[in-house]
Amino acid sequence: MGTSPESVDVLLSLQGITKCFGAVEALVDVDLQVRSHEVVAVVGDNAAGKSTLAKIVAGVLSPDAGVVELGGHPVVLPNPAAARAQGVEMVFQDLALCDNLDVTSNLFLGRELRGPFGRDDARMEEIAVQVLDSLASRIPSARTPLRELSAGQRQAVAIARTLIGQPRVVVLDEPTAALSIPQTAEVLIHVQRLRDLGLGVVFISHSMTDVLAVADRVEVLRHGRNHGSFDTATTSQEELIGAMTGARVAPRRLQVV
Amino acid sequence: MSTDTKLVPSPGPDTDVSWGRRLQGLGGNARQYGIVAALIVIIALFQWLTGGKLLMANNVAALFQQNAYVMILAIGMVMVIVAGHIDLSVGSVVAFVGGIVAVSMRDWGMPWLVAVLLGVAVGALVGAWQGFWVAYVNVPAFIVTLAGMLLFRGLALVIVGETIAGLPPSFINISKGSLPNVLGFAGNSDVVTLVIGALAIAAIVVSQARARISLRKHRLHVEPPVVFAIKLILVAAGVGALTVILSFSAGGTPIVLVLVGALVVAYTFVMGRTVFGRHIYAIGGNRQAARLSGVNTRKVDFWIFVNIGALAGVAAVVTTARSGAAIAAAGTNYELDAIAACFIGGAAVTGGIGRVSGAIVGALVMGVLNMGLSIMAVDPSWQMAIKGLVLLLAVAFDLMNKRRAGTQ
Amino acid sequence: MVRKAPGSQSSLRAANKALVLQTVQRWGGLTQIELAAATGLSPASVSTIVRDLFAAGVVETATTTRNGRRAQLVTVSRRMGLAVGIQFGRRHVHVVLADFALHPIAEHTLPLPFEHRVDTGLDRATVLMADLLERVGASFDDVAGVGVAVPAPVEAGTGSISVAGVMPGWDGVDIAQTLSKRTGRPVYVDNDANVGALAESALGAGRQVRDVVYVRASYGVSAGVVVSGNVHRGYAGVAGEIGHVMVDPQGRMCRCGNRGCLDTVAGGAALAESVRPVLGSLTLTDVVRRAGDGEPACARVVADAGAQVGAVVAVVAMVVNPQVVVVGGELAETGEVFLGPLRERIGHRVVGNSVAPLEIVPAELGSRAEVMGAMLLALQATEVSVPVSPETAVEVV
C-alpha cells in the first residue's frame, strides 16, 4: 500500500472488525481505510465476507468486535438511518427500490422532505432533477414509475439516491453484477464522478475488470480475513486472483511508465 | 431500454396519435377513470332495470345510509391492503364496540357523544392490540385478525347477549337523520343540501385548478385544457346531480354522508400527501427496500392497525345507530364487503397499489348492486352469488388492463 | 428543462419546437413518450412537433419497441450517414457516433483496467458501438467508416502497433482487420497524436495553417506532425513519438526498452510517482485537478514537465518549422501551469524567423480532438467530404 500522509482525509476506518453468525466466522480482525477522492475495491471469493463488511459499514449489521471510525471519530451504527446520518450511504445488491413508486419517491425514501401540510413534493422533485443531472443519468423524467426503467437506469437511481444525503462515503455492493457492457460503462462513470466529488467509495465486486478499471486500491478478503492490499496501477488480474484463492503468485514487476 | 428492437425506418411520424397514446396522456388516472366509468354504467344499467326507481331521492339517501359502514371500513382496509396486510376482524370488532357503546349508554348512563368517543377509542385500542402482534411479534396479519375475528365475536356475545335496545334518539339520529333543514326549501329542495353540493363542486374545481397550476409551475406535464375542462364538467355534473336528487329526499343530506365525506377528504390527504401515506405505499411495494431505506416499518404497521381499529369503532357507532340497538350478530361479513370494495376499486392483492377514492367507488358499486337487486326483488341468495361474480370479474378486468398497459 | 417564454401562441409553439429538438439532441434518441416526459409537453403536442421537424428534415423517426410496446423513436437527422470514432486511452475507451458533419449524436465512455488487452478492448468497443446505434435507431450498415485512435505508433501497412511494449497485450495484432471483422465496416487505425493533429489542423486551432505540430501530453507524451497540410507518419508510423526521446542517459527504464525517455520523466504516470512521497497515491486526473487548483507539489511537477516537454518540442519545431504548436492532452487542462513553462522553454530554444513568431496554443477541441480526428480519418479514407465549420465541436451530454 502506498504511504498515506496525514494531509489526506481518512473518511472511513475499520479496525479489527470481527463478526460471527453462530459458529460461522464471517469476518475476523479485518481492517479497511477509505480516503477522500479514493475508490477502494473489496474483492474475494464467495463467503469471503465482502457483503458482511459492506453491511457493517452501512449500519445493517453490528460488528461483534472492532472499531468503526468516521472522519477520525469512533461511531456506533445501529441501523441504516444512523449510518446515513453519519454520512455513509449504501447501494445494495438488489438496489432496495420500490417499483410501485416513481423516481423522486425512491430517491427520498425514508427521508422525505416535509412542508407545512404533509410532504414537500415540489422541492423533492427539484432536488431529484438536480441530482440526476449531476450524475448525467439518462433518465428523462423524475416522475417515471420505477417499473418502467431499464436495469441500467434503476442502477442509476440507486446510485443517485446516495447523493441525496450529501454523504462522505458510498458503499456499492456488486453494482455491475447484472448489467450489460453499456450499462456497466454508465455505472463505472458514475463511480468516477462520485470520486471526483471528493467522496470515498467502497466498491465490492467480483469483476476483476471493473475493479481494475475504476479502483485506486484493492483489498482482498479471504475467509473473512485481510489477505493483501494492492495498488491498481501496479497489480494485475493474476495477482489479485492469486491472493483471493490463496495460491502463491510471484509479484509482477511492471515498470510504471 | 429494450433489447429487442426491431428498427423499421418509417416514412414519417404517426399522423394520428392513437387512442392508446391519448389515454396514456391521462396518466395513471386512466385506471381510476375506468372504475368510475364502470360505476356509471352499473348505475345506468340498474336505473333502467328498476324502471327509474334506483335514482329516486329517498333511495339515493338510503344508499348512503345503508352503505356508510362499508365506506368507512374500506377507507381503513385500503390502507391495510396497500401495506401488504389484511384485516379479517373488522366485522367482529364492529359488534364488540357496538356492544360497549350500547352498554355505556344504557347501563353507565353516558351521554351519547361520550359513548361515541369511547367507541372510537376502544376500536383504536383493539387496533393497537392487533397492531402489536403484527408489527412487533411478526405474526402474519391474516392470523392475528382471524384470531381477532373469533376473539371479538366471542366478547361481543358476552357483552351483548342477544341485543341491547333502548338507545337514545339523538344517538340513533347519527345514522337515520339528516342535516337540519335550517335554510328552508327551494320548491321541494332542501337548500342546505344544495349549498353543500355547490360548495363541494367549488372546492373540487379550486383544488384541481391549483394542482394544475402547480404542475405548470414546475414545467411538468399537464392534461390538455380540453380534457381538463371535460373532466371538471363531468365531475361537477355528477356531484350536482347527486346534490339535486338528495335535496328532494325526505331529510336532505344524510348525516352519515357528511361523516363519510369528511373521512374521505381527510384520508385522501393522508394517503396522497403525507410522509406516512408514502411510507405505506413503500412498505407495500418493497418492504425490505423500505426498511433498508430507513422507514420504520414496525411503526407504520402498528398505526395502520390502530387506524382501522378506530374506523371500525366509527363503523360500529353507525351500525348500532342504524339498527337502533346493539346486536351480537352485527357486522357479519362486514370485512368481506370492505375487502371486496377495496379490490373492485383497484387495490393490488400483493400490496403497494390502491387508493381511498377507488375503495369508495368500489363500495358504491357494491352498494348500487345491492340496492338495485333488492328493488328488483331478486332473491338474497342470488344477490350474494351475483356479488361474488361481480367481484371476480371486476378484479380480472382490472388485471387485464394493467397487463395491457405494460405495468406488469 | 427550459423555461417557456410567455407570449403569443406562435412564439410558444416555436419555443416548444426548440425544446423538443434540444432534448432529442441531448439524449441522442428518444421515443415520443420519453420526449413527452422529458419536456413536460403532452404526447399529442410532441407528435405534432415531431411531424413538423420531420417535414423540415431536422429529425428522423423509426419504429421500435420499448417495454414490449411499439414506440416511435425520434433522432436527429443524419445527413447521408454515420461515422464512428473510437479512442483507446490507457485506462478507458471512448466511442462516439456522429454524422458526416462530425456533430456527435451519442457516445459512451467505458473505464478499462491499465494494461487492458486488445481482444477485451475491441470486444467492448464493438458492444458499445452496437448500443449507440440501437439507441439512435440505426444499424451497422449506416456507418460509413470507423476510426480508431490508440496511444502507440501504428504502421499503416499492417494496421498494427509498430513499437513493441508500448501497449502490452496489443502487439502483433492487425487492429483494423480484427475490428473490421467484428463490425463488418471499414476500420482505420492510427496513433492518437496523429489523429489529434489531423482534427486540430482541419477543425481546430490549426485550421488556417498548413504546418502544425500537435503535442499530446497525457500518460505518455507524443506528437503529431502536419507538413503541408498532411499528417507525416513516417516509415513505420513512429514519426512524432517524442515520448521516447532520451532526455536522461541515466534515467529509468522505459517500457519501449530504452532508458531515460521523456515519458519516464514527464509522462502522467511519472508525475503521479513523483508526488507520491508527499501526497500518497494519486491518478493523473487527480494531479491535473490539484495542479489546476494551485496545490504546490502538483503544480510544481506539472510545470517542470512542461519545461521538459518544451525542450523536446523545441527541437521538433526546429526540424519541422511549423507555424503553430497546438498542445492537448490531460496535462494541457491545467492551462498556463503546463503551457507557461512549455512556451518559455520553446521560446528560448527556437530561433526566431522574420515571417511570423511561432504560436503555441492550447487545443481547441480539448479532450475530443483524438476521437474527432479518428472519425475524420475514417471519413477521409472513405472519401466523404466533411463540411467544415468552426462550430463543429458540439457538446452532447
B15 CB neighbours in chain C (<8 A) are 51
**pLDDT at C79 (0 to 100):** 59
C277 CB neighbours in chain A (<8 A) are 3
Report the distance separating Cα A146 and Cα A109, nearest Å. Answer: 13
**Last residue within a domain, chosen from B253, B273, B295:** B253
Q: Which among B3, B4, B6, B7 is the top mutation candidate for probing chain C, defined by the most C β-carbons within 10 Å of its own β-carbon?
A: B7
Dihedral class, residue C6 (left if φ above 0, else alpha if ψ from -120 to 50, else beta): beta
**pLDDT at C313 (0 to 100):** 95
C40: closest CA of chain B, how far (Å): 4
* Whether C37 contacts chain A with CB within 8 A: yes
* Whether C41 contacts chain B with CB within 8 A: yes
B353: closest CA of chain A, how far (Å): 7
Is the pLDDT reported for residue B21 higher than 60? no
User: Is the Cβ pair A79, B294 closer than 8 Å?
Assistant: yes
When divided into structural domains, chain B yields a total of 2
**What CATH class does C207-363 carry?**
alpha beta
Is the pLDDT reported for residue B394 higher than 90? no
SS3 C115: coil
Helix (H) or strand (E) holding C146: strand C143-150
Residue of A4, A148, A180 lying closest to C280 (CB–CB): A4
**Which of A138-142, A236-240, B139-143, C131-135 is the least confident region?**
A138-142
Other C-beta atoms lying within 10 Å of the C-beta of residue C18: 13
Report the distance separating Cα B93 and Cα B99, nearest Å. Answer: 10
Of residues B158 and C21, the one with the higher pLDDT is B158
**Which of A49-58, A207-216, B70-79, C155-164 is the least confident region?**
C155-164
* Non-local CB neighbours of C89 within 8 Å, separated by 6+ positions: C151, C218, C219
**Which of A16-25, B248-257, B349-358, C235-244 is the least confident region?**
B248-257
Report the distance separating Cα A230 and Cα A222, nearest Å. Answer: 14
- Mean confidence (pLDDT) of chain B: 86
Helix (H) or strand (E) holding C225: strand C221-227
Burial status of residue A79 (CB atoms within 10 A of its CB: 0-12, 13-18, 19 or more):
middle
Helix (H) or strand (E) holding C291: helix C284-293
Q: Which among C41, C64, C75, C133 is the top mutation candidate for probing chain B, defined by the most B β-carbons within 10 Å of its own β-carbon?
A: C64
**pLDDT at C381 (0 to 100):** 82
Q: Chain B residue with minimal CA distance to C133?
A: B7
Report the distance separating Cα A122 and Cα A185, nearest Å. Answer: 32
**pLDDT at A118 (0 to 100):** 86
User: Is the Cβ pair C64, B7 closer than 8 Å?
Assistant: yes
Whether B370 maps to a domain, the answer reads yes
Report the distance separating Cα A55 and Cα A52, nearest Å. Answer: 5
Is the pLDDT reported for residue B63 higher than 80? yes
Is the pLDDT reported for residue C69 higher than 90? no
Of residues B291 and B180, the one with the higher pLDDT is B291
Angle at A84 between CA A78 and CA A87, to 5 degrees: 120
Report the distance separating Cα C33 and Cα C26, nearest Å. Answer: 16
**pLDDT at C44 (0 to 100):** 86
Whether B152 maps to a domain, the answer reads yes
Is the pLDDT reported for residue A83 higher than 80? yes
**Last residue within a domain, chosen from B212, B238, B253:** B253
Residues of B with CB under 8 A from a CB of A: 1, 28, 214, 218, 220-221, 269, 273-275, 278, 281-282, 284-286, 288-290, 292-295, 352-353, 406-407
Helix (H) or strand (E) holding C273: helix C268-279
**Which of A182-196, B12-26, C132-146 is the least confident region?**
B12-26
Q: Does residue B351 sit in the same domain as residue B214?
A: no
Is the pLDDT reported for residue B398 higher than 80? no
C65 CB neighbours in chain B (<8 A) are 2, 4-6
B209: closest CA of chain C, how far (Å): 18
Angle at B393 between CA B387 and CA B397, to 5 degrees: 145
Contact criterion met (CB below 8 Å) for B354 and B348: yes
User: Is the Cβ pair B24, C32 closer than 8 Å?
Assistant: no
A193 CB neighbours in chain C (<8 A) are none
Other C-beta atoms lying within 10 Å of the C-beta of residue C260: 18
Q: How far is CA C62 from the centre of its chain?
A: 29
Whether B260 maps to a domain, the answer reads yes
Is the pLDDT reported for residue A61 higher than 80? yes
Arithmetic mean of pLDDT, C92-97: 94
Contact criterion met (CB below 8 Å) for A69 and A15: yes
Is the pLDDT reported for residue C364 higher than 80? yes
Q: Chain C residue with minimal CA distance to A180?
A: C127
Report the distance separating Cα B323 and Cα B331, nearest Å. Answer: 11
Phi, psi of A135 (to 5 degrees): -100, 5
Per DSSP, A143 falls in state T
Q: How many CB pairs under 8 A join A and C?
A: 102
SS3 B110: coil
Contact criterion met (CB below 8 Å) for B49 and B371: no
Contact criterion met (CB below 8 Å) for C235 and C330: no
Distances (CA, A) of C390 to C225, C324, C362: 22, 18, 16
A114 CB neighbours in chain B (<8 A) are 275
pLDDT tens-digit profile of C102-145?
888 889 999 999 888 888 899 999 999 999 998 888 889 889 89
Per DSSP, C350 falls in state S
Residue of A37, A143, A182 lying closest to C128 (CB–CB): A182
**pLDDT at B277 (0 to 100):** 96
Q: How far is CA B116 from the centre of its chain?
A: 21
Q: Does residue B167 sit in the same domain as residue B297?
A: yes
Per DSSP, C261 falls in state B
Q: Report B:18-37 residues touching C (Cβ under 8 A).
A: 21-22, 24-25
- Mean confidence (pLDDT) of chain C: 86
**What CATH class does C9-76 carry?**
mainly alpha
Q: What is the DSSP string of C84-98?
A: EEEEE-SSEEEEEEE
What are chain B's partners, defined as 3 or more CB pairs within 8 angstroms? A, C
**Per-residue cell: C373:** 480526428
What predicted TM-score, i.e. pTM, was given to this entire model?
A: 0.80
**pLDDT at A252 (0 to 100):** 43
C68 CB neighbours in chain B (<8 A) are 2, 406
Is the pLDDT reported for residue A116 higher than 80? yes
Q: How many residues does chain C have?
A: 397
Q: What is the DSSP string of A100-124?
A: TSBHHHHHTTTS--EETTEE-HHHH
Considering chain C, what percentage of its residues have pLDDT values greater than 90? 47
**Last residue within a domain, chosen from B225, B253, B281:** B253
**Which of A128-142, B97-111, B268-282 is the least confident region?**
A128-142
C11: closest CA of chain B, how far (Å): 17
Contact criterion met (CB below 8 Å) for C183 and C132: no
User: Is the Cβ pair A216, C281 closer than 8 Å?
Assistant: yes
Q: Which CATH number among 3.40.50.1100, 3.40.50.2000, 3.30.420.40, 3.90.650.10 corresponds to the domain C82-194+369-392?
A: 3.30.420.40
Is the pLDDT reported for residue C307 higher than 60? yes
* Whether A134 contacts chain C with CB within 8 A: no
**Which of B390-394, C23-27, C150-154 is the least confident region?**
C23-27
**pLDDT at A248 (0 to 100):** 56
* Whether B223 contacts chain C with CB within 8 A: yes
Q: Does residue B234 sit in the same domain as residue B260?
A: no
B334: closest CA of chain A, how far (Å): 29
Strands C69-76 and C230-232: unpaired
Considering chain A, what percentage of its residues have pLDDT values greater than 70? 93
Per DSSP, B339 falls in state H
Radius of gyration of the CA atoms of chain A, in A: 19
pLDDT tens-digit profile of B209-248?
888 887 777 666 667 788 888 888 988 888 888 888 888 8
* Whether A236 contacts chain C with CB within 8 A: yes
Report the distance separating Cα B81 and Cα B87, nearest Å. Answer: 8
Which residues span the domain enclosing B363?
30-46+53-177+254-403
CATH number 3.10.20.740 given to A10-97+167-245? no
3-state helix, strand, coil in chain B (%, to 5): 70, 5, 25
**pLDDT at B271 (0 to 100):** 95
Tell me the domain boundaries of chain C. 9-76, 82-194+369-392, 207-363
C34 CB neighbours in chain A (<8 A) are 140-141
Contact criterion met (CB below 8 Å) for C291 and C334: yes
Q: Does residue B206 sit in the same domain as residue B335?
A: no
What contacts 24+ positions apart, CB below 8 Å, involve A111-114?
A111/A84, A111/A164, A111/A165, A111/B293, A111/B294, A112/B275, A112/B278, A114/B275
Report the distance separating Cα A77 and Cα A97, nearest Å. Answer: 22
* Whether B217 contacts chain C with CB within 8 A: no
**pLDDT at C334 (0 to 100):** 92
Q: Does residue B213 sit in the same domain as residue B348?
A: no
pLDDT tens-digit profile of A29-39?
999 999 988 99
Res. B29 pLDDT band, cuts 50 70 90: low
pLDDT tens-digit profile of C275-302?
988 887 788 888 999 999 989 999 999 9
C138 CB neighbours in chain B (<8 A) are 7
C340: closest CA of chain A, how far (Å): 25
User: Is the Cβ pair B13, C64 closer than 8 Å?
Assistant: no
Whether B18 maps to a domain, the answer reads no
Alpha helices in B83-223 (DSSP H): 90-106, 112-136, 141-160, 169-176, 191-217
**pLDDT at B219 (0 to 100):** 64
Distance, first Cα to last Cα, chain A: 19
ipTM, two decimals: 0.85
C54 CB neighbours in chain B (<8 A) are 12-13
Arithmetic mean of pLDDT, C5-12: 64
Q: Does residue B121 sit in the same domain as residue B228?
A: no
Phi, psi of C374 (to 5 degrees): -60, -45
A81: closest CA of chain C, how far (Å): 32
Name which of B272, B351, B269, B276 is nearest B78 in CA terms: B351
Contact criterion met (CB below 8 Å) for A240 and A65: no
**pLDDT at B215 (0 to 100):** 74
Arithmetic mean of pLDDT, C365-376: 91
What are chain C's partners, defined as 3 or more CB pairs within 8 angstroms? A, B
Name the most confidently modeled range: B24-38, C8-22, C233-247. Answer: C233-247
Q: Chain A residue with minimal CA distance to B271?
A: A118
B160: closest CA of chain A, how far (Å): 42
**Per-residue cell: C294:** 494551485
> Is the four-CA dihedral A189, A134, A171, A109 of positive or negative sign?
negative
**pLDDT at B193 (0 to 100):** 85
Domains C82-194+369-392 and C207-363 equal at CATH topology level: yes
Strands B189-190 and A88-91: unpaired
Report the distance separating Cα A216 and Cα C284, nearest Å. Answer: 12
Name which of C264, C245, C328, C340 is nearest C302 in CA terms: C340
